[in-house]
Each structure stands twice: as structure tokens, then as C-alpha cells.
Amino acid sequence: MRQPGWGAVVSVGLLWSLVAWFGGPWWWLPVPLAVVAFAVPLTVVDLRERRLPDALTLRAYPIFAAALAFAAIEGGAELLWGALLGGLVFGGLHAVTHRVIPHALGAGDVKLAGSLGLVLGATGWAAMVAVVVIAAVVSAVLGVFARIRGSPTWEDGVPHGPGLLIATSLVTLFPSQ
């Protein structure tokens, strides 16, 4: 895996500034910061190499769990229960989809969905529905651009990770919307 370059580092910094600027409750702030920190490099790698590496997807679990545990200090224990259930449901649905239609989602998408489900479950069930819709739209747009460019690396489909990551970043930035 080629490492994301300085552009990714600068992008994370700029996005963290936006997250801080948009505000939200102080106790929720670590959650969108953590999501953005993983979203940028994972998106870069998935677009470039069509894979979501374990080195990032698996590390997201403890980082997201820590951010959610911090948020639960003020947000309450129900936030953690929602996170646990969300991780099981969102990750489970992606695992079933991968099992039934293996070419629709890769194993990396399934691993990513579990960690993102933690965050989405803490945000609320409407967030999960919103992420599914936004991710589908982002994937469709990527597919159109791939067709226009005639991208030979995407002949077998469009990466799903960027859509999931962009959508989850937006939903965690505006959790009450």
C-alpha cells in the first residue's frame, strides 16, 4: 500500500478546522475528528488502489470506541448502547451483503462498516439511513466520472468506501440534523 501523501495530511488538518468551526457539543467533538482522521487516508487509498487496508480499518475500532466513550461521559450510557447496536447492525448488514453478493462489497468495506456503524449507532438510526442514501449517491457519482474518464481500474465496479466515509463524516459533523 502506498502511503497517502502530504495532501492527505493537509486535508485532515483543514477538515479538523472545519469540524472545530462548525462546533457542536464539546463532548461530541472527538467523534467527528476521529472519523475525519480515518476518512481521508482510507478514501485516498480506496480510490487509488481499490482496497481498504486492515492497517487502517481495524485501527478505527479502538479509536472510535475511545471517542465514543469520551462522548458518553456527557452523552450518557445510551450513547454506548446505541453505538454497540449500530456497529452490529450496520456491520452485519454489510457482511450479509458481502456474503450474498460478493462482488458488490469487498471485505474491507465490511470491516469499515462495522466501525462506522459504532459511530452511526451513537448518532441515531436516522443517521444510518442517511449514510446509506448519501453513500449510494457518492458511489453513483464516482461511477459516472469513471465512465466519463474511461477508467480501466474501475471496470469491475466503483469503490464503496469513499461514499461510506464521506457520508459518515457529514452525519457525525451534523449529528442532530
Indicate if the pLDDT at residue 16 is higher than 80: no
Indicate if the pLDDT at residue 123 is higher than 70: yes
35 burial class (0-12, 13-18, 19+ CB within 10 angstroms)?
buried
Digit-coded pLDDT (tens) for 55-76: 999 999 999 999 999 999 998 9
Indicate if the pLDDT at residue 172 is higher than 60: yes
Separation of alpha carbons 99 and 93, rounded Å: 10
Quick one: DSSP state of residue 154?
G
Digit-coded pLDDT (tens) for 70-99: 999 998 999 999 999 999 999 999 999 999
Measured at the CA of 57, the angle between CA 56 and CA 58, to 5 degrees, comes to 95
When the pLDDT of each residue in the chain is averaged and rounded to a whole number, the result is 88
pLDDT at 22: 77
pLDDT at 93: 95
Indicate if the pLDDT at residue 151 is higher than 70: no
pLDDT at 49: 86
pTM confidence score: 0.88
* Sign, Cα dihedral of 24, 44, 90, 128: positive
In whole angstroms, how far apart are CA 150 and each of 124, 146, 147, 154?
A: 39, 6, 5, 9
Q: What is the mean pLDDT of residues 24-53?
A: 91
Separation of alpha carbons 17 and 30, rounded Å: 13
pLDDT at 155: 59
Separation of alpha carbons 67 and 70, rounded Å: 5
